[in-house]
């Protein structure tokens, strides 16, 4: 709740997006294991070596990535648990776009029904069973990316096949981005 009302007080700094993605993936993976989840997932990284450093609030973007990775672990694990189908997989990629960078997070999990896709960034909306999610992770992630960093976060999904989040972070111009002096 406090994160929703906070005004993005973190420090802006240049960061290597590939390093940040790898650190967040490590945090999410070990965090899930520490919570007792058995993680048996194939991780596929496709990090663009030409991705130039980008100015961002490191701890906030890390929070977004950890949330997206954790959701991917959960969805892919649930599908594998229910059907014994394909082994769970999480694919993470970065791409240099010149005016910004793109991060994609794709799982081969249960997917998000079309009627829920327009709601998933709303506070307290969750597709998880009661007690397994607060409905705040994606809402906070949206605020961090769209409001604090001036970027976009989009979702594509097919029920029973995949969910892919696409995050775009623009290169900072200073105009219209909260926290910029």
Domain range list for the chain: 32-170
pLDDT of 163 higher than 80: yes
Which are the contacts of 43, defined by CB distance < 8 A and separation ≥ 6? Answer: 25, 29, 89, 90, 92
pLDDT value of residue 23: 97
Give the range among 32-41, 65-74, 157-166, 171-180 with minimum mean pLDDT.
171-180
Helix (H, G, I), strand (E, B), or coil: what is residue 140? helix
CA nearest 52: which of 87, 95, 110? 95
Per cent of the chain over pLDDT 70 is 78
Give the range among 26-30, 92-96, 134-138 with minimum mean pLDDT.
134-138
User: pTM for the full model?
Assistant: 0.85
pLDDT of 175 higher than 70: no
Give the mean pLDDT of 89-107: 97
pLDDT value of residue 128: 65
Task: Tell me the CATH architecture of domain 32-170.
Answer: 2-Layer Sandwich (3.30)
Q: How far apart, in Å, are the Cα atoms of 135 and each of 79, 108, 155, 163?
A: 20, 21, 16, 17
Give the residue ranges of DSSP H helices in 46-113: 58-83
Q: E strands of the chain, at which residues? A: 12-15, 42-46, 54-57, 89-96, 100-107, 152-158, 162-170
Give the range among 39-43, 52-56, 64-68, 168-172 with minimum mean pLDDT.
39-43
Helix (H, G, I), strand (E, B), or coil: what is residue 74? helix
- More confidently predicted of 10 and 155: 155
pLDDT of 5 higher than 50: no
């Amino acid at each position: 709740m406090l994160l929703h009302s906070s005004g993005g007080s973190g420090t802006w700094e240049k960061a290597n997006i590939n390093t940040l993605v790898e650190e967040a993936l490590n945090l999410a993976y070990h965090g899930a294991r520490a919570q007792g989840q058995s993680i048996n997932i194939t991780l596929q990284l496709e990090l663009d070596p030409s991705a130039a450093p980008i100015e961002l609030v490191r701890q906030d973007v890390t929070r977004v990535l950890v949330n997206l990775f954790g959701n991917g672990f959960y969805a892919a694990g649930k599908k594998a648990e229910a059907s014994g189908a394909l082994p769970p997989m999480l694919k993470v990629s970065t791409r240099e776009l010149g005016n910004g960078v793109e991060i994609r997070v794709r799982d081969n999990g249960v997917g998000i029904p079309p009627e829920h896709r327009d709601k998933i960034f709303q506070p307290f909306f969750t597709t998880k069973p009661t007690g397994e999610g607060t409905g705040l992770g994606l809402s906070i992630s949206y605020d961090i990316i769209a409001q604090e960093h001036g970027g976009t976060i989009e979702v594509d999904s097919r029920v029973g096949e995949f969910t892919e989040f696409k995050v775009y972070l623009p290169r900072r111009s200073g105009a219209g981005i909260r926290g910029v002096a």
